[in-house]
Amino acid sequence: MDYPIRILHVVGLMGPGGIETMIMNLYRRIDRNLIQFDFLTHYGQEGAFDSEIKSLGGKIYCMPKLKDFKKTYYLAIFKYIKELNLFFDKHREHYIIHGHMTNTASIYMKIAKKYGDRFCIAHSHLTQARPGLPGIVTNILHKFLPKIADAYFSCSLMASKWIFPEDKIKIKGLHILKNGIDSEKYTFNEQIRIRKRSEFALENKFIIGNVARFKLEKNQSFLVDVFLEILKINMNSILLFVGDGEERKNVERKVYLLGIQEKVLFLGIRYDVPDILQAMDAFVLPSLYEGLPVVGIEAQASGLPCFISDGVTVETDVTGNCFFLSVKEKPSVWAQMITNKSKKYVRKNTSQQIINSGYDIKKTAQEMQDFYLETYAVNF
C-alpha cells in the first residue's frame, strides 16, 4: 500500500461554510502521512481555505461554474461533462471519491468510475433541495445516486432520509459522521468575551449573532425582521452577521431601508469566529432547511443559548440549550422567546457535553481516517 492515500473531495467552493469547515476540521486532524486530501471545486474562484489546503499538501482542481440554471445551462452541462471526462482520465491517483456536492454526484461519480476502479462516497449535508428548477433537477439526479455510490454518509438522520432510500441503506449501510469541532477552541471564556466586546465597543449591549453564508435558505432576511421586533423590546440590542454570500447585499439593503444600520454589524468572513461567539448573548439560526449545521455545535460549545428554526434537525441540540421555532411564526414570537430565554440564561462550560455527544473532532477524524484506510485496504 502506497502512502499517503489521496482522497478527492468534491465540493462547491472551499470557503468558510459549514460543510467546508467540517472538512477542514477533519483535514487538520488526520494523519497526513497516511491520508491526503485533494479538492475538486466548482465555483471558479479562490476559496478562503485554499492557501491552508496547499500548505497542508493538498491540491485544488476547478470545474466550470454550474451555479445558475439559466438559458445557458444546457451548454454549461455539456462543458461540465467534457471537463469531468478530461479530469478523471488524467487524474487516476484518486481511488476514493468523497462527494459532498450531491446535486451532480450521479454525474461525476459515474464518470469517475469510467476511468478506473473507484470507491465513491455520497455525503448528504442537507434535508431538501433548493426551490424551483434547480431543486427539481437535483431530485431527479438523486434517483440515480443509489446505483452509483458505494457508501452513504450523512451528518444526521434527517439528511440521510432526503437522499438515500431505506431499502438501499439496508444493503449498503449508513454512516452518520458527526460534524466534529475542536471543542477546546470554543469553550466559554469570560476574559475573551470581555476583550471581544470591548474590541467592537459593545460592552453593555445585548448581542444577537448569526454565523452563516448569505444564501436564501439561511433566511437572514427573516432574522432582520426578528431583530426589528427585538429592538421594540430592548433598544440596547445589536445584531452581528458573520459571513458573506450572494444575498448579503439584499440583506444590507433591507437593514438600510429599515433605518437600523447603526444597530446591525456585517463583519464579513472572519477567522476569529470562536472569539466572536464568546461576545454574543444569543445565537440565532432561522434556516429554511439544513442537515446539521456545524455552527450550531460551535455555538453550543461556546455556551450560548441557540434559537433555531424547525427546518433544522433536532439532532443539533446536544446540550439542551437549543430552542426550536417555526419560521411560520411571526417575527415577534421569535423576538419574545429570544429576549425572555436569554434574560434567564446562565452561561457555562459545555465542552464535556460536546465531547460526550460525539462531536469532538478528535473522535470524528479518527473515525473518518479508519474508514478511508479500511476501504482502501479492502478494495484496492
Model confidence at 234: pLDDT above 90: yes
pLDDT of residue 103: 84
pLDDT of residue 135: 67
Q: Which residues contact 173 (CB under 8 A, 6 or more apart)?
A: 151, 152
**Cα separation, 84 vs 71, whole angstroms:** 21
pLDDT of residue 68: 47
pLDDT of residue 180: 93
Choices 3.90.1150.10, 3.40.50.920, 3.40.50.1820, 3.40.50.2000: CATH for 5-179+360-379: 3.40.50.2000
pLDDT of residue 200: 95
Q: Mean of the per-residue pLDDT values for the chain? A: 92
Q: Do domains 5-179+360-379 and 183-356 have the same CATH topology?
A: yes
pLDDT of residue 133: 62
**Cα separation, 246 vs 370, whole angstroms:** 37
Nearest to residue 4, comparing CAs of 43, 59, 48, 64?
59
**Cα separation, 242 vs 209, whole angstroms:** 8
The superfamily CATH assigns to domain 183-356 is Glycogen Phosphorylase B; (3.40.50.2000)
pLDDT per position as a tens digit, 133-176: 666 667 777 788 888 999 999 998 888 887 887 877 776 788 99
DSSP string, 96-128: EEEE--GGGHHHHHHHHHHTS--EEEEEE--SS
- What is the arithmetic mean of pLDDT over 292-309? 96
Beta bridge partners of 307: 284, 323
pLDDT more than 70, % of the chain: 94
CB-CB contact of 98 with 122 (8 Å): no
Q: Sketch the domain layout of the chain as residue ranges.
A: 5-179+360-379, 183-356
Model confidence at 295: pLDDT above 50: yes
**Cα separation, 6 vs 201, whole angstroms:** 46
3-state secondary structure of 81: helix
CB-CB contact of 178 with 358 (8 Å): yes
CB-CB contact of 240 with 271 (8 Å): no
pLDDT of residue 160: 83
Q: Which residues contact 165 (CB under 8 A, 6 or more apart)?
A: 146
Name the amino acid, one letter, at 70.
Answer: K
pLDDT more than 90, % of the chain: 77
